[in-house]
Structure formats: C-alpha cells, structure tokens
Chains A and B, each alone.
Chain A
Amino acid sequence: MADAWKFGLQHVDRNDLVSLTREAAEVAGIPYIMESDMKDAERILCNGV
C-alpha cells in the first residue's frame, strides 16, 4: 500500500492495478500496461506537469 501511496484501505482502487495481457484487460476492465496512465504521460511530455 505504501508502494501505491495509499495509507488507508478505503483509498485502494482499480487504478492501482495494470493488466499484463490484453485478455486480462478485457476480462477485468483494468487498463493494459502500455495504456495505463498514458494520458498523464503524454501531458507531462508536452508540459512537464
């Protein structure tokens, strides 16, 4: 939980996971590893923040 910066159980959510396969992403609805956080990453690459 410290790793995911969650200091109470109520804060743990689906965003703390990534799917390692496309199949897992389809089954679980958890984003595929190369897409998770991609929007944030693209914004940071443009603006730094």
Chain B
Amino acid sequence: MNLQQPNANDATRTANRSRNVSPMSGICTRCIDGCRGNCEVFKATFRGRELLYPGPFGSITAGGDKNYPVDYSHLNIHGYALGAKGLPAGQVGDPDTARFPNVNTETSYGWDKKVKMQVPIFTGALGSTEIARKNWEHFAVGAAISGVTIVCGENVCGIDPELELSSSKKVKKAPDMDRRIETYKKYHQGFGEILVQMNVEDTRLGVAEYIIHKHKLETIELKWGQGAKCIGGEIKVSSIERALELQKRGYIVTPDPSDPVVEAAFKERAIKEFERHSRLGFIGEHEFYAEVDRLRKLGFKRITLKTGAYGLRELAMAIKWSSKAKIDLLTIDGAPGGTGMSPWRMMEEWGMPSLYLHAAAYEFAKKLSDRGERVPDIAFAGGFSSEDGVFKALAMGAPFVKAICMGRALMIPGMVGKNIAQWIKDNDLPKTVSEFGSTVDEIFVNYEDVKKLVGNKEIENIPLGAIGIYSYSQKIKVGLQQLMAGARCFNVDSITRNELMSLTEECAKVTGIPYLMDSYRDEAMKIINS
C-alpha cells in the first residue's frame, strides 16, 4: 500500500496530466513527449529549485498529506454513563452539578512560576515568514483576548528591514519585534503570555538581551526543531538589495546574491526571488545547561524548549535534559507539521509522525517519573485542528501534557477575519459568509462577547481576525467541554490515558493505549461474573 505519491500536489501547484499514475514515482503511466504539463518534473524542467517549496510564499501555509499507518484517528474517546472527576473540591457529581458548561478547560504550565491559559491551546511559532508578519495584529490580539499564549518565532529581529545594530553587531532597535510584543501586551487579559523563540542567528544578534531589557518578557524559548522540517527556518525575499542585506547580517542566502552570475540572472528576471536560511543547530548537554543558566541570569523567569520530529535519541535528550534543567514547557512537534515555508518533499518524508513521537514521549516521561525524576510540563504539536484532537493529545500524554500547540489551524481564523473586513469594505462578501448577514455583528457570533471583554469603544480597534481567533477558540473550548463531560472529566488534570481506546492492534502496540476490545474488559468481566 502506497502512503504518499510524489510528483504532483496542490502544495507545489502541480497536477498529473493522466488519471493513471505509478504510485511510487507519481509519474503518469503514459508519459508523453509533447505533454504541456503540469507535474512537478515538468515544472522543475524550467523552474528548477523553486519546485522545492509550496507556494506562493507569503499567502499560503502548507501541511503534508502522507497517510501514515497509524495516526490520531486510530484512537477513539471513551464516554461513560456514570462518574464525575475533577469537579470543584467538595462538589458531588450528580445530573445538576455535572453539566457540560461547568467543565473547566483552564490549564497552566511552568516549573515553579505557572502561566495559566483559558483553553489548553496556544499558537505555533509565528516567525519571520511573510504570512506571520502581515497577519500579526490579528493573531496577537486574537490570542490575547482568547486567554492563550502566542509564540513569536525565530529570526523576527534578523529580517527586520528597520533593524539597527550596535557596533558589536547586537540588536539596538527592532521595530517589528517591538510592534509584535506591544500588540499582544495591549490586549492581554491575565491569561497566557507572549514568548519569543531563539535560534543560532538570534543568539548571535543578542535577541534575548533585547527582549528582556526593553520589554521585560518573562519567557524565552530555545529552538531545536519543528515538525515540518529538520533544517533551519526559511523565508523568501524578492529584492536583491534585501537578499544582500540579510547575507550581510550573517544569514545563508541562496542563490548567492553577491555572485555576478546570479545578479545578471536576477536582472533578466530568470531568478525572481532569494531564499534566506537559518543555520543548523548543534545540541550538546552541557552547552544546553549553560545556555539555560545564561538566560536565567539575564532575568528570564521561564525557559521553554521546542523540539521537532527527530528520532528517539533526540527525543530522549529533550525530555531528560529538560528535566535536569527545569525547563518550564517542552513542546514536541511531530511530522509532517505545518509551515509558512519548508521544503515540500522533506515535509512529506522526514521525521517521526506525531502519534509515534508522542507515544514515545509519554513512554520516556513515564520512565523518568517512575524513577522519581520530575518531568517538565509538555505540549504536543503537529497537525491538530479540532477539539477532539486536543482531547486525544491531552489524554495520550496525561499527566504530563498540559496544552496543545496549533500552527496552521489557529492562523486560519486570523486570515479569514482579516479578509471578511476587506470583503465588507469592497461589498464583495462571498455567499459562504453573507448568508449570516452583511455587518460585523451579524456575521461574527462572538462579536458581542469580545465587545464586553474589551469595551464598547475599544471594540472599534479590534481587528476582525482577532475576533475570528476568539470565535474559533470558543468552538474548541465548548467542544472540549462536551468531550470532557462525556468522559466525565470536569477539569484538564482529571483527563487520563484511560479515556482513550485504540481502534487497531497496531495503534495499541505503538501507543500502549488498549485495543478497544480489551479496554475496560476486566471491569466488564467482573460485572458479568458477579
């Protein structure tokens, strides 16, 4: 059985000419000399390396579609006909108290100094990609009013055209980072936080020093990797001047904009854009502890770590070293993940898929915990978009997993809200939206809630993408309350692995979650035999 067919995908804006395709190569069974397109090989014939990436850069996000042998759909959620765990202290569960709107979806993370969130979700790293930059206001205000954390990704200072460096090449002024932090803080409601991610280039530029001295941020994130790829963060720039500037700031820029041949090709418009790449990191145990120590001495109250879909060795390092370094949140992002820019075939074919990675993470965390070693709070990431996924991930990783990191899914409402604003202005609402009305308060079901939250006057300044994210987070929250009530878990901490069953023997073997015909069998037999 083929799990993923290459050579044509909407991500690379390609398609096979024929309906009949060889599964392994993805090449049409009848490949014709004279074909006018449009498979990946056809297009790579004249656009070459451009075909490595989903596109167009800046207006899309991409997620891989390899159909792995086992994924979260192989788990189902239990519902029970009795019981109520996690009700407020002293409250007895009965049909009047154990109502689904009473379910508490609040969560928190942190080794000592906890950060509370109203819903157990937070944004993936929104970094230097164009789609993160141009939609930031929507994402940041949306996360703030939803009471969840937002992660500002790597390289934000490094690519800022208005960045000012000191004589020692450290960040002196970074207006885009300032804007990002201030936007979130302005609407912060006491839940969640903004934290900033840091990679090799950010470390060299002194981003940590800048954000703590100027903005007094409490949390910074070290970055080992992500689910979408295992090379550094990437963006595209379309001017040779920008490409040269980024090269001067220490980034890897391809093709080399200082090469006269490349310059000539750019002038001829054969080369239309440049790629800016970050460096590969090299992790080491003592270097990791030293860096955590340095950041704590700078004044950060919390240090978090994000790791990617690496194999079991690096996963063990992430969990063990985080335990020893008292890391405040460890985010474990599985393949294929989502992205603003990552090599398409890498997304499809690299790394540990989310379910496998998360299953191993639980196994490793449990091993440490059983030996009396404290496990840091964990977040799972890598392909989640709905409340059932959030529930399953919380249960799979219980009691270690406190929240789910969502990338693409949490970005969509920001973009949709922004576009609705434009469509209203242009009197061009699509029918999918106009069937609910033509004004903001008619279209957005949570408009009045947000107005109540920020005030009658301030609502005028709230971007519609933010109201979109609020509405979506409410959908996740209420859906989660329903699933949790069904599983008789009235707060996040009361969710356990027992709330899940495996639909296949293979899933049971990978995850350790019992096969559905074995789940609760002992309890059932006791009743039958009584």
Report which A residues bind B (CB closer than 8 A): 2-3, 5, 18, 20-21, 33-34, 36-38, 40-42, 44-45, 48-49
Contacts and interface: CB of A to CB of B under 8 A. Distances in A.
A20 B69 contact: yes
Nearest to A2: B231
A48 B324 contact: yes
B280 A36 contact: no
B231 A45 contact: no
A3 to B, nearest CB: 4
7 contacts: A3-B350, A21-B69, A34-B360, A36-B312, A40-B316, A41-B360, A45-B364
A25 to B, nearest CB: 12
Nearest to B317: A44
B159 interface: no
Contact of A49 (B69, B285, B367): B285
A20 B311 CA distance: 13
Interface residues of B, number: 29
Contacts of B360: 34, 41
Interface in B337-382: 346, 350, 352-353, 356, 359-360, 364, 367-368
Contact of A42 (B229, B230, B316, B346): B316
Given A2-B231, A2-B280, A45 B319 contact: yes
Given A3-B230, A21-B69, A41-B315, 9 more contacts: A3-B229, A34-B510, A37-B311, A38-B312, A40-B312, A40-B313, A44-B316, A44-B320, A45-B319
Nearest to A43: B316
Contacts, number: 53
- What DSSP secondary structure best describes chain A's contact surface? loop
Contacts of B285: 48-49
Nearest to B277: A2
A45 B510 contact: no
Given A3-B229, A41-B316, A41-B364, A48 B321 contact: yes
Nearest to A47: B320
Chain A CB within 10 Å, residue with most, of B324, B346, B360: B360
Contacts of A36: 311-312
Contacts of A18: 311, 352
B24 interface: no
Leading 3 A-B pairs by shortest Cβ distance: A41-B316, A41-B312, A44-B316
Contact of A20 (B68, B230, B231, B364): B68
